[in-house]
Amino acid sequence: MALNILPLTLAAIFIFNLSIAWQAEANIYSWTDSNGVKHFSNSPPSDKNKAIEVQQGISYDRNADEARWELDKEQWEAIKQNLEKKEAQTIKEINSRDNTSESPNLTQKIKDEKFRLEVEISRLEKKPAGSFAHQRDGKRAAIAFYKARLKELQTNPARYFDIK
């Protein structure tokens, strides 16, 4: 008995999928009523005498969508690599300034830290919002953190560097 139910179940699933596919290929009708209002619908207007425009619905193309997604991923990866390269270069510049024979005085230390914070803010602003997926407003929060640090550096550098 169980063997007879399987073909019926498969046939029912096939008919259901066929009905969904038929609905997905619906036309889009547009017409203007007597008040000049433009209407759009998936069914024609009730007044058969009205002039209507019919546009064939566009079906979903999974292959084209996946190709666009791959292109987007490649572009984001290129942007990410470019940002990482700039960040590494900036860190190298900061480190080369810090490794000079004379230790920088507080003014130079403030300038270097200000530069570092501004670079970090700039890097975060250029970063795609999707890279902060773990937190809803992650990008905005990270930028706000570094801006607050920059403000603290400018208003009270001794407190920023914890100088007693």
Give the burial class of 124: count Cβ atoms within 10 A of its Cβ; 0-12 exposed, 13-18 middle, 19 or more buried. Answer: buried
Per residue in 83-103, pLDDT (tens digit) is 888 877 877 776 665 554 444
Round to whole Å and give the CA distance between 115 and 142.
17
Q: How many Cβ atoms from other residues are within 10 Å of residue 84's Cβ?
A: 11
How do 38-41 and 27-32 pair as beta strands? antiparallel
What pLDDT does residue 95 have? 65
DSSP one-letter string for the chain: -HHHHHHHHHHHHHHHHHHHHHHHT-EEEEEE-TTS-EEEESS--S-TTS--EEEEPPPP-HHHHHHHHHHHHHHHHHHHHHHHHHHHHHHHHHHHHHTSSSPP-HHHHHHHHHHHHHHHHHHHHHS-GGGGTTSTTHHHHHHHHHHHHHHHHHH-HHHHTT--
What pLDDT does residue 2 have? 47
What pLDDT does residue 132 have? 66
Amino acid at 135: Q
Give the residues across from 39 on adjacent strands: 31
Q: Are 114 and 150 in contact (CB under 8 A)?
A: yes
What string of pLDDT tens digits covers the 164 residues of the chain? Answer: 445 676 667 777 777 766 665 555 567 777 787 788 888 877 777 776 666 677 666 777 888 888 888 888 888 888 888 888 887 787 777 666 555 444 457 788 888 888 999 998 888 888 877 776 666 677 888 888 899 998 888 888 878 887 65
What pLDDT does residue 82 have? 85
Amino acid at 142: A
